[in-house]
Structure formats: C-alpha cells, structure tokens
Copies of this chain bind each other. A is one copy, B any other.
Amino acid sequence: MGVEETMHSEPFHFSVDVYYEDTDFTGVVYHANYLKFFERAREHALGQEMLVQLWRERGLGFAVYKVEIDYIEAVTFGETLNIRSTYELVGEYRLCWRQEAWRSEGKKAAVTAVIQIVCIDNHLQLRPIPTDVLVN
C-alpha cells in the first residue's frame, strides 16, 4: 500500500426484522437492541465462518471499545430495517465502522452509529487487526 492508502470497505447491506423481543412497552425498539442489529450486520459483513475460524484456530476475536449512536426515529414491531455498514482500518489496531439503520420508506437513517472495534486474544490482550481476514 502507498503513502495515503488505507483499508476501507464497500458498503454491506443486511436486513433485520423487528420482532416482539426487540420492542418495549412504549411500542418501539428498545435502544440497546440496535447494538445487536449492528453487530449481526458486522458479523455477516466479515463472515461468520471466518470469525469462528479466527477464534478457534488463532484465538482472536473482535471487541467493541467505543460506540457513538444517534437515535433519530423510532421503529416499531413488524418493520424491516436495512443496515448499511462500512469500515475503515485506522492504524494497526482499530477498525472503525459506520453503520446506519434505514426504515423501508425512510428518507434518512433512523439510527446511526460509529463503532470502534479492536482485536483481542483469548487472554483479553490487544492485538493488531488481522487484516488478512478483511480482504473480501
């Protein structure tokens, strides 16, 4: 890679249905559950099989170390969200994801997040991001 080169991804699209379990008594999706939706999308973007191998064969996993999340519109039971995800490698140790949840008729994202990921081994020690697994 050259001087200003960085590793960043094309957008990934992933679909999430909103079930009973995702809502609370106010009628809308419970705020913590978007972090689950975004994680599911990241797992599919990277490939679950690869993540399983990485953990079993190399003892490496990804961990969230910083999240900024904005809740713009409430989402209700029975809706389908399109999760749009991109990532950028920042230095050797950080994978920065930008993720958005779009309602099917939405003119803007309903929820947006910047989620910083690090790589840890099975003793919880920080390791460089294994960039070989990022090449799609």
Contact = CB atoms under 8 A, between A and B. Distances in A.
A67 to B, nearest CB: 5
A21 B49 contact: no
Interface residues of A, number: 42
Nearest to A114: B68
A70 B78 contact: no
Contacts of A77: 25, 48, 51-52, 55
A32 B17 CA distance: 18
A114 to B, nearest CB: 10
Contacts of A36: 19, 21, 32
B49 A78 contact: yes
A133 interface: no
A71 B61 contact: no
Give the copy number: 4
Contacts of A1: none
B66 A26 contact: no
Nearest to A78: B52
B17 A40 contact: yes
22 contacts: A17-B43, A20-B25, A20-B30, A21-B32, A21-B36, A21-B40, A23-B25, A24-B24, A24-B25, A26-B55, A31-B64, A31-B67, A32-B35, A32-B36, A32-B39, A35-B35, A52-B77, A65-B70, A65-B72, A67-B67, A67-B69, A74-B124
